[in-house]
Amino acid sequence: MMRYLAALAVLVGFAIMPEVIGEYYVEIMILFMINLILASSFRLITTCGDWSLSHVVFMGVGAYATALLAKFLGWPFWGTVLLGGMASAVIGLAVVFPLLRTKGFGFFIGSFALGEFVRLIWVKFHFPFGGPRGMIGIPSIELSDIDFYEAIPYYYLVLLFTIACLAILYRIDLSRTGKVLKAIYADEDLSRCIGINVARYRAMAFSVSAFFAGIAGVLLAHRLGAIDPKNFDVNTMVYLVIWVVVGGVGSFWGPLIGVAVMMLVGEAARPLAEWRPLLFGGILIVFLTLLPGGLDSLMSKVREMLDKRTADGTEKI
Amino acid sequence: MAILEVKNLSKNFGGLMANRDLDLEVEEGEIRGVIGPNGAGKTTFFNVISGVYKPSGGTIKFDGTLISNLSPDKIAGLGVVRTFQRVALFPNFTVLENVNIGRHLHARESLFGAVFGMSKQKEIENLEKSRQIVDFLGMTEHQDELASNLPYGLQRALNVAIALATEPRLLMLDEPVAGMNPTETAEMTRIIRLIRDEMGMTVMLVEHDMRTVMNLCDKITVIDFGEKLAEGLPQEIRANKDVIEAYLGAEDIVA
């Protein structure tokens, strides 16, 4: 009951937020929600033990796909968002296929190399990707009479997509499929010997995760109006890793908390200007050494302590 | 007809011949023991049959199907499931969740189904079956505990429960009573017998505990230096000169 009320409160909060905060913060919130989709989809791969260093590249695949389709072919948004996600999922499958032979560190580095390969295609091919300068003049979204060039309508569109994407990812996490992924992480040999096709599940997790990164990319491209390969390089990827490490991947909520906290820190640290990356690096090191499970593990620790305290209390009575 | 037919099976690791020209036939409904001194190649033999290692030579047929070059999950899908010598379980899952993951082969959930909850009925059935298996192993009171919090004996029992959940036709147990105290050993022996008698599974086990093997097995195969040394009924094996020699050394026989 409490849980439903909390969820309702969050939803209502998000729904009325644009009325309360200024336009600048509406833009920030749009980015925030896109990052939620990105971080949550990234967690899906990590549940089976694969840490990819190419996830933002798949965001780029979605972004480039929608830009090309909308700009050159004049496709409507519903078509480009679906195809953007699909393109990402298919390229994800092609990228993960050779990586299935690797694990851990090998997977991490291999995914970086293959991601760079995809990214360098955008850099090298001026037609149609626009080379290093990327693509400009990506049309804004028009659906029936609403012009999504304005921030507030766009906010609600992204909110809708965020709810849908997170709901699907949440269902996957709780399903048998989600458990199988965690089982693979916990004991790969045992998983195999009880009939789990480990390679198939890892590939599926990677591809589904790329699909949602692609959707996030579509939403980003139409908001920015211009994209270039730098948007999706390893720098951005490192920020994603920091969000997810700070939040922790132990539960579905960890990465979401990580994005929220680190974007707040980022905003608060704006006066630090060029010193900000140093701060983020410091935070990453602190979390990796002192709290490897992220904020998520901290919360469950606190909950455990509270449970213990109440249990002790009742015993005394 | 034999349910498992192994012919001329060899496995080399570089120059080391871990298994050499092994022949073995296990009849349906049998409890077969595989014994031998340390390093004789028993676990390698298990690993090759379950697909963890590819054989260097020879063939393995299960129920007439050639399985020697299949992956472990395919072999499990055909009904050959093994346990591990180590404690092999999913530590962050509860006992019931562990067993329910073992129902994987009977689940077949699609991604679409996962999102829209379409396999609910099937999952209720799987959970019910998992409960029965937990109950069968006498772990019902522990079913909601995390596997990592169980004492050693129960963790070993859970290993067997996960394997049982796949409903194999041939269950291969790698040292099922290793490290157990006498009470736990007796209980596990009883359970293995029930697995054959009530669930109708064929069982093959590697074990060092001679009493358990002699008690439990219909037939015993002895491996030494990767080769088959002897095969027969427990009383035959106990009286076999070669076997005694392999275990105790030749001088003891003369003396």
Q: B28 φ, ψ to 5°?
A: -60, 135
B37 pLDDT above the threshold of 60: yes
Do the Cβ atoms of A99 and A110 come closer than 8 Å?
yes
Q: Which two tokens stand for residue A128?
A: 């149609």
Per CB-CB distance under 8 Å, the chain A contacts of B165 are 194
For residue B185, the one-letter residue type is T
For residue B21, the tally of other CB atoms under 10 A from its CB is 14
Over the range B140-149, which residues count as b (16 or more CB within 10 Å of their CB) and which as e? eebbeeebee
Q: Count CA atoms within 13 Å of residue B18 on its CB side.
A: 18
Comparing alpha-carbon positions, the chain A residue that sits nearest to B97 is A179
B50 pLDDT above the threshold of 80: yes
Q: Which residues contact A270 (CB under 8 A, 6 or more apart)?
A: A276
Q: Cβ of B88 and A198 within 8 Å?
A: no
Q: What value, to the nearest 5°, has the Cα angle with vertex B152 and ends B150 and B154?
A: 60
Parallel/antiparallel/unpaired status of strands B31-35 and B57-62 = unpaired
- Tell me how far apart the 2 most distant CA atoms of chain B are, in Å: 74
Measured on CA atoms in the order A16, A20, A21, A27, is the torsion positive or negative? positive
pLDDT of residue A308: 75
**Shortest CA gap A170–chain B (Å):** 8
Q: Which residue has the tokens 């295609």?
A: A121
pLDDT of residue A312: 60
**Shortest CA gap A171–chain B (Å):** 5
**Shortest CA gap B251–chain A (Å):** 42
Per-residue confidence in pLDDT tens, chain A, 317 aa: 788 899 899 999 999 999 899 889 999 999 999 999 999 999 999 999 999 999 999 999 999 999 999 999 999 999 999 999 999 999 999 999 999 999 999 999 999 999 999 999 999 999 899 999 999 999 988 887 788 888 999 999 999 999 999 999 999 999 999 999 999 999 999 999 999 999 999 999 999 999 999 999 999 999 999 999 999 999 999 999 999 999 999 999 999 999 999 999 999 998 988 898 999 999 999 999 999 999 999 988 888 888 777 666 554 44
Q: Alpha-carbon dihedral of residues B193, B199, B201, B206, nearest 10 degrees?
A: -30
B210 pLDDT above the threshold of 90: no
Of A186, A189, A193, the CB nearest to B81: A193
- CA-only gyration radius of chain A, Å: 20
Of A171, A180, A195, the CB nearest to B76: A195
Mutate to test the interface with B, among A166, A187, A193 (most CBs of B within 10 A): A193
Comparing alpha-carbon positions, the chain B residue that sits nearest to A189 is B52
Residue B31's DSSP bridge partners are: B203
Element (H, E) at B33: strand B31-35
Q: Cβ of B107 and A176 within 8 Å?
A: yes
pLDDT of residue A304: 80
Q: How many helices (H) and strands (E) does chain B have?
A: 11, 10
For residue B251, the tally of other CB atoms under 10 A from its CB is 8
pLDDT of residue B188: 94
Work out the pLDDT band at B244, boundaries 50, 70, 90: confident
Mutate to test the interface with A, among B54, B104, B124 (most CBs of A within 10 A): B104
Q: What is the pLDDT of residues B158-170, one digit of tens each?
A: 999 999 999 999 9
Give A 186-205 residues with CB within 8 A of chain B: 186-187, 189-198, 204
B53 pLDDT above the threshold of 60: yes
CA–CA separation, A124 vs A116, rounded Å?
12
Query: What is the ipTM for the molecules in this complex?
Result: 0.92
Measured on CA atoms in the order A22, A27, A33, A39, is the torsion positive or negative? negative
Q: What is the pLDDT of residues B168-193, one digit of tens each?
A: 999 999 999 998 999 999 999 999 99
CA–CA separation, A150 vs A145, rounded Å?
13
Of A175, A177, A196, the CB nearest to B73: A196
Of A176, A182, A186, the CB nearest to B114: A176
Parallel/antiparallel/unpaired status of strands B31-35 and B219-224 = parallel
Of B82, B104, B111, the CB nearest to A196: B104
Q: What is the pLDDT of residues B57-96, one digit of tens each?
A: 999 999 999 999 999 999 999 999 999 999 999 999 999 9
CA–CA separation, A239 vs B243, rounded Å?
64
